[in-house]
């Protein structure tokens, strides 16, 4: 016998349709479920621009370029 402690299970599913099947509601009651929508294109661009600007801010040859 094996004892497993302090573990978490993370899963992801797609909406039903297009070749994916629905999940049985009895199975879903065994998990905490929440829905996360993908951000809009403008939000994704703002996120990556912020990361890129912060990462490249210490390079003097790129300070003249404007990434925003």
Residue 48 structure tokens:
């990556």
User: pLDDT-based confidence at 47, cuts 50/70/90?
Assistant: very high
Q: Is the pLDDT score of 21 beyond 60?
A: yes
Beta-carbon-side half-sphere exposure of residue 57 (alpha carbons within 13 Å): 8
pLDDT at 42: 94
- State residue 41 phi and psi, 5-degree precision: -60, -40
Reference 34, options 4, 68, 10; nearest CA is 10
How many other CB atoms are found less than 10 A from the CB of residue 49?
12
Q: Please provide the average confidence, as pLDDT, over all residues in the chain.
A: 81
DSSP one-letter code for 62: G
Q: Is the pLDDT score of 67 beyond 60?
A: no
User: pLDDT-based confidence at 25, cuts 50/70/90?
Assistant: confident
């Amino acid at each position: 016998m094996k004892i497993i402690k302090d573990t978490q299970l993370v899963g992801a599913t797609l909406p039903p349709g297009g070749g994916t099947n629905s999940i049985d509601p009895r199975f879903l009651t065994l998990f905490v479920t929440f829905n996360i929508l993908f951000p809009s294109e403008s939000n994704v661009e703002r996120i990556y621009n912020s990361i890129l600007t912060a990462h490249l801010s210490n390079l003097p040859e790129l300070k003249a370029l404007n990434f925003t």
